[in-house]
């Protein structure tokens, strides 16, 4: 065989192209260029849109078993919770039935005794539902704004309650809105009566005390007040109807050197999260006006002649 016919090129195993480092630098530069171009010119936006449109049916199909299992589990949990709640409600209803019957009997006896003693019948307290829109903008007062105003018949001084107790009092009325000052505001004073002892007093708002509480002031150190006592409106101020839950005594501090005890109370109304409230008519618009004071006899001095 002639030597000129032999292939003198190296075998493919020994052929060498660009180095691995060169290829890495080229790929990195290309990736960086594509990222900069995509950031500046959004060139991959249409590509992403097309890919997402094509892949969405597959993604939706893969998600359905997970969603079905989750919905089935939630339905089972809701059914179990509904059954437990129904059983608990039935038990509470059975427990409250004797109290309701006893309340109706006591109410009937009370009305009969009031007629026998020729006492004035209790006044009904009409009201209208309202919704709390937002808190007042002033950070130094504790007020909320409700969606009822002058056009709805709301007047200044109207008591506002929720499903738990007294919430506050309407202090400013606009055309379609009204501002309600909460009972925990420092400017609020509410006449109350202790349901256990029948003692009348006044509670004052303490907004800076543990997130908002009430204080029963001017009670002597040896006053019969205990933690757990329920305080309700007395109804003698001409504003609040009697019997509205105001607060419950939480702590009593008696100091021998002090003349008065420090009595702290938890408000019964949800002063920090009420959404649905009831605006009552002020008691002063239902009771007859106070009689005018009688004028005393004129005492003129005799003039000298």
pTM (whole model) above 0.75:
no
Handedness of CA 77, 83, 89, 95 (dihedral sign): negative
Per-residue pLDDT tens for 62-113? 889 989 999 999 999 999 999 999 999 888 888 888 887 787 788 788 777 8
Per-residue pLDDT tens for 201-225? 999 998 777 767 899 999 988 889 9
Residues 248 and 156 in one domain: yes
Residues 95 and 144 in one domain: no
Number of domains in the chain: 2
For the chain, give the number of residues: 305
Instruction: Provide the residue range defining the domain that includes 68.
Output: 35-119
Domain assignment of residue 293, yes or no: no
Contacts of 179 (CB under 8 A, 6+ apart): 136, 143, 144, 145, 170, 171, 172, 173
Residues 131 and 261 in one domain: yes
Domain assignment of residue 68, yes or no: yes
Domain assignment of residue 266, yes or no: yes
Domain assignment of residue 301, yes or no: no
């Amino acid at each position: 065989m002639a030597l000129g016919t032999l292939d003198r090129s190296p075998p493919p195993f020994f052929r060498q192209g660009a180095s691995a480092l060169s290829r890495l630098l080229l790929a990195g530069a290309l990736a960086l260029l594509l990222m900069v171009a995509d950031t500046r010119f959004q060139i991959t936006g249409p590509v992403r849109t097309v890919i997402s449109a094509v892949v969405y049916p597959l993604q939706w199909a893969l998600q359905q078993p997970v969603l079905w299992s989750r919905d089935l589990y939630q339905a089972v949990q809701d059914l179990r919770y509904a059954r437990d709640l129904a059983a608990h409600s039935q038990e509470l209803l059975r427990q409250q039935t004797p109290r309701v019957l006893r309340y109706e009997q006591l109410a009937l006896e009370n009305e009969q005794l009031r007629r026998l003693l020729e006492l004035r019948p209790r006044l009904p307290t009409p009201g209208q539902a309202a919704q709390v829109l937002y808190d007042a903008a002033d950070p130094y007062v504790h007020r909320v704004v409700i969606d009822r105003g002058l056009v709805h018949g709301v007047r200044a001084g109207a008591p506002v309650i929720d499903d738990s107790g007294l919430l506050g009092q309407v202090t400013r009325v606009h055309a379609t809105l009204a501002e309600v000052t909460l009972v925990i505001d420092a400017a609020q004073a509410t006449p109350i009566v202790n349901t256990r002892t029948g003692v009348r007093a006044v509670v004052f708002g303490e907004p800076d005390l543990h997130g908002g509480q009430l204080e029963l002031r001017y009670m002597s150190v040896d006053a019969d007040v205990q933690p757990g006592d329920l305080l309700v409106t007395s109804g003698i101020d001409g504003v609040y109807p009697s019997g509205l839950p105001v607060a419950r005594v939480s702590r009593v501090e008696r100091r021998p050197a002090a003349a008065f005890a420090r009595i702290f109370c938890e408000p019964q109304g949800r002063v920090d999260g009420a959404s649905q409230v009831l605006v009552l008519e002020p008691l002063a618009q239902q009771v007859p006006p106070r009689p005018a004071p009688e004028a005393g006899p004129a005492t003129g001095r005799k003039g000298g002649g």
